[in-house]
Every structure is written in structure tokens, then in C-alpha cells.
Amino acid sequence: MANETFVWGFMDEMPAVLQDMGWGVSSTSTSDIVRDNAYQYKPVGAPSTYSLAFDLGQYVDAPVAGRPATAAGSVSTAVRLDTGRAPDTGYTIIGIYGAGAAFPASVVRSNGDGTVSLHVAGVFKSQSTAVIDWQDFRWVTIFYDVSTGTHKARIEIDGVEVITEETEAGAVGSAALAMARISGFSNFDRATNHGAFVWRNGYTSAAPKRYVTIVEVDSDVSETGTWAPDTGSDNYARIDGTYDAATYTEEASPSANDKVVCGLTANLATKLGFTPTAIDAVCAIAVSTGSGQTARAAVGDGSAVTNGTTTAIGASATMTVAVAETKPSGGAWGSSDTPDASYEVVTV
């Protein structure tokens, strides 16, 4: 199992919007970080997408809603540099940090010669012999385990191990404080392009190279309670696509188990624009505000659902995530499936 806990493909969202959704952002200035569609990490036929383009040293941290349950896992990114641009030396490409914790980072850092270096518990451990061509998207993964006093990490690029496991003493990490970070590592304006992001639970879980394709809901399936879009009559039309806090559907007087379910009018092959050979997971992400409720996102297949973690919802935007690696009713996802996404109030 790949054990995905958070799956993200970048859309038409500027850094300030990502921050509103729950990402940690080093800068909200579009002179430092900006969404860009010059380089799109997607298979042939898939819908258009975006990358997030970074200046040197600028970064974003994944939302806390995506954290694995343990202090061991992996983080992957699809990343490339602008055509003709080179990496700088000593800058983080991807890594795992401890928010407010005593333990230091385990990170993949760039080198000007195209190699990468592994730092474990803040200590340089090894440099790859492989020279990476950053003129196309590379799938970079750091595997980490900070669950004991001996931290360990290793690096794969495009599914090939380029630095074997290294260890270093460090404080025991807490899963509840983990931060996963992607960064800019070329000394040119917005020349580092991250096109997709996956966080997984478990140091030994596989982290194969994958595309992350956004499929927008386009139909209302059902609702429990009274959900009202801010304008118009369709729930899906206000919550699909790029996040915008000004568009929403609302349950004004929520009760426990109130739910809104949206789905697809065509199967995955049609929505994706190609027929995938395998689907590792379907992920639903909801961003909501409330007044003391708990709620969760869910992925359904028409017969059953896989619920995400129940999360406290407050006055500020709160992200909830559900990941279904297989169909909730059983079996692997296939191109003929039509999953749905839902948001459910759990308690009030």
C-alpha cells in the first residue's frame, strides 16, 4: 500500500489563497511565489493544470490536515526548473521539519552540479553520484523516520534510490508537529516549479512516481439538512474548482450528520482525458468555516464511503481531507468508476 494521507495538484491559487486554505507560506507576494501554467505536470490528454513557481529559498508547508498518523513516512514532489536555469547549492528541495519541536529537519538539498544531498537531523550525510536533469519534471521523494532517537532517511528520484538510508541521532519527533516543505532552489525569479505533492504514512510504504489530476465535481448527488449555495441553485457550482472563500454552500442551522454530496456526470476516464492503468487513490478536500462544529470530508463510490478525519471547525477556514486508496465498497478504483465527494457535519 502507498498509504497516502494528502494528495495535491496545484491549481489557479495564489500564495495568499493557499495560506487561507491552511498551507504555511513563506511569502504571500507573487514576486516570491506565484502560480504559473508554463510548466504543467500532467499526462497527455489530462485537463490543464498549474505549477507553483518559487524564488530561491521561498517555500510552502503542507496543511496540517495532511499529516500522517505516525512520525515516519515519505514526502514526494514533482519539480523542475525553468528551461535553461540551473540549481543553486545548499537549498532545500523537499523535507520534513518539526513545527515547534526539538527535532531538526531531514531534507533533500540541491547542488550546483545537479546532484542532491541528504541531511538527516540537520546533519549532512551523503551526496548522490547521480546528476539530475532538472529540465523536466522529476519525482523527488524523501523517506523519513523520526519516531525514535535515531532518525533515518533516504532519497528516491523518479522511483530510483539515489541516496541509501542514512541515520543520525536526534530528538524523538511527534507526528502531530510534523511539517512537510517544498522550496525554491534556483537563483532566478520564480524558476523552481512544483507541480504535485504527496504525503504518505509509513517509512516502508511505496512512493511510486504518479500524476495528480484534479477532477472537478459537476453534479449535486444528495444532501441531508438544508444546504444553500451563496448564489444560484447548485451546490457543486459553488464549491468545485479553485478555492474562493466568497463562493460556498451553507447549512445555516447545522445538525449532526448533515451532509452535502457532489459527484461526477461522467466516469474517471472521461474526466481525466485518458484511461489510467492504475489509480492509487481518490482524495476529497473540503475547506469550511463554522462555529464550534466538527466535520469531515469523505470519498464515496455510490455504495459506500471512506471518511476522513473528524476535525474541529471554527471561524477561520479549516481544511478536511479524505483519501480512499481503494473503492469504499471494495476493490481497486478503475477508469469506469464515478466517485463522489462529500462534507459532513459530525457534531454541533
> Residue 141 sits in a domain of what CATH number?
2.60.120.200
Percent of the chain past pLDDT 70, that is, above it, reads 99
What are the C-alpha distances in Å from 262 to residues 245, 295, 333, 345?
Answer: 18, 16, 18, 15
Domain match, 187 and 281 both: no
The answer on pLDDT for 185 being more than 80 is yes
- Same domain, yes or no: 97 and 46: yes
Read off the pTM: 0.96
> Does the pLDDT of residue 100 top 70, yes or no?
no
- Give mean pLDDT, residues 312-341: 97
Residues 185 and 229 reside in one and the same domain: no
Q: Is the pLDDT of residue 104 over 90?
A: no
Domain of 291: which CATH number? 2.60.120
Q: Are residues 11 and 78 in the same domain?
A: yes
Do 187 and 233 reside in the same domain of the chain?
A: no
Residues 179 and 256 in one domain: no
Judge whether 211 lies within some domain.
Answer: no
With contact defined as beta carbons under 8 Å apart, do 198 and 73 qualify? no
Do residues 61 and 173 both lie within one domain? yes
User: Do 254 and 197 share a structural domain?
Assistant: no
C-alpha to C-alpha distance for 122 and 99, rounded to whole angstroms:
14
Q: What is the pLDDT of residue 99?
A: 72
**pLDDT, average across residues 134-151:** 97
In a domain, 239, yes or no: yes
* Within-domain flag for 32: yes
- pLDDT at residue 67 tops 80: yes
Q: Is the same domain home to 223 and 181?
A: no
Q: How confident is the model over 197-216, as a mean pLDDT?
A: 96
pLDDT at 1 over 60: no
3-state secondary structure of 89: coil
Range of the domain at 188: 4-201
% the chain with pLDDT above 90: 95
Does residue 197 fall inside a structural domain? yes
Mean pLDDT of 71-79: 97
Give the N- to C-terminal CA distance of the chain in Å, as an integer. 35
Phi, psi of 114 (to 5 degrees): 95, -5
pLDDT reported for residue 101:
63
Same domain, 235 and 101: no
Number of folded domains that form the chain: 2
pLDDT at 102 over 90: no
Answer yes or no: do 29 and 174 share one domain: yes
| pLDDT (0 to 100) of residue 133 | 98
Q: Are residues 193 and 278 in the same domain?
A: no
Q: What is the mean pLDDT of residues 15-23?
A: 97
Residue 206 located in a structural domain: no
177 pLDDT higher than 80? yes
Residue-level pLDDT at 2: 80
**Which of 201, 235, 250 lies at the terminal end of a domain, its last residue?**
201
Determine how many CB atoms are found less than 10 A away from the CB of residue 28. 14
